Chains A and B, each alone.
Chain A
């Protein structure tokens, strides 16, 4: 019986230790950031890898999510005779929730895993140690640029997601179903508030960006330097990031709605 509670306790302590270590990595990154900003081209390179190369999956997913929203929204709204409100529904769902959240989930799977695997392998093959021995800080040279790239990329990807999703919703609602085009856009314009909906969506994606990137970086940096260690760390990146995004989304949403 005791060992059962001992195991729970040990597991919990391990989780808390890792959370602490990740937080420390976060502050280390911040303290090294001025050094890596001097070489901003390193960050630009990472923006290309995490951002530009994620574009395809973001755009395709967004288009389908938007189309499904259009279909589902139309069938519910028409029961209440307000099918012109479809534009508002699609836009609000995307800008407030689906844009930031689905983008973050896709980001964790596409870019997060790549970051973890790359850093984990660099560690396993002693590349990070070699860098340290060359008097170059791996945090400044490798970790910090990926961190800033993630933070810059996530809100941009989320806004692209929302935009493409709206186009997807439009394609279903207007040409396919035949909702009035003017009503579609004008209702959207009238009911989507910039400082409330769009800024809140932006804040969400920024927070998700920090969470997903720091998790991916930490898992890679902390991975045991073996093939098995790196593969487990990669899995953990996806699981932890996804849970973190959904949990944070609930917290942020409840704050935003209560303001």
Chain B
């Protein structure tokens, strides 16, 4: 019987050189769920994904993936864990010198000894799942933003990962592509029996399809719950975010001197 809890973050703190980003984060991700991490730009959402993937180490606290503490793994151990993960980067991050087909085939070629015929079937299957089987001959530069992200998604799930991480999957997409990606996240999650972790600040989409949502602010989890719980929340921060009010607990102005004194009056 597999453990139900696949990723858990305990008392995590992290900072770059002089700037503290996370102070104390606690999160749990259960198998089969679509979980969203929300928060303003620069609050450290992408950083959490990098911590889960073991690209950076926490200052204190820990991230546990499938029962293993990520920062205690050596290179081999981390690579082993990463093979259970797929990640969709903010702008797709397709390899620009490889065709769509070769991009999706890349992880398969690197990690398996399958023969060319099997690889071809797998790649076309994955591309078919994102509706781009017909585009397999194109180069990444020939794709629109939404298509590139779908190819990247096909590549991320090429080895049937247990955990799929999405970094702002909707940013910069037209409404149609956005809907397509939304549906894909849900279908892929359920078809693979995977766990999806979605970093985003698109309220409407996220509230429509996530199972659970974490809000981060000031380096801690400011609120969490299912979408319906959060909608009822009276926390000012959550209300500001959901109803996109300009000013609130999250100020419109970046920290500054008194306006009057800056103007020299």
Binding site for B on A (CB under 8 A): 121-122, 125-127, 129-136, 141
Contacts and interface: CB of A to CB of B under 8 A. Distances in A.
A129 B55 contact: yes
A48 B43 CA distance: 44
Interface centre among A121, A134, A136 (most CB of B within 10 A): A134
B111 interface: yes
B107 A134 contact: yes
A129 B85 CA distance: 13
A134 B89 contact: no
A121 B93 CA distance: 11
A149 B111 CA distance: 24
B106 A133 contact: no
Nearest to A126: B93
Given A133-B82, A135-B82, 4 more contacts: A126-B89, A129-B89, A130-B95, A133-B85
Contacts of A134: 82, 106-107, 110
Nearest to B111: A135
Contacts of B95: 122, 127, 130-131
Contact of A125 (B53, B96, B110): B96
A141 B79 CA distance: 14
B87 interface: yes
B83 interface: yes
21 contacts: A121-B96, A122-B95, A122-B96, A125-B93, A126-B90, A127-B93, A127-B94, A127-B95, A127-B96, A130-B87, A130-B89, A130-B152, A133-B53, A133-B82, A133-B85, A133-B87, A134-B110, A135-B78, A135-B79, A135-B83, A135-B110
A121 B55 CA distance: 19
Nearest to B83: A135
B186 interface: no
Interface in B71-98: 78-80, 82-83, 85, 87, 89-91, 93-96
Contacts of B83: 135
A194 B9 CA distance: 66
Interface centre among A126, A130, A131, A132 (most CB of B within 10 A): A130
Contacts of A126: 89-91, 93
A127 to B, nearest CB: 5
Nearest to B165: A133
Contacts of B79: 135
Which are the 8 A-B pairs with shortest beta-carbon distances?
A: A130-B93, A126-B93, A135-B79, A135-B82, A133-B87, A126-B89, A134-B107, A136-B110
Contacts of A127: 93-96
Contacts of A129: 55, 89, 93
A127 B82 CA distance: 16
Contacts of A122: 95-96
Contacts of B94: 127
A59 B111 CA distance: 42
Contacts of B96: 121-122, 125, 127
Contacts of B78: 135
A175 B63 CA distance: 76
Interface in B96-124: 96, 106-107, 110-111
A33 to B, nearest CB: 16
A131 B55 CA distance: 11
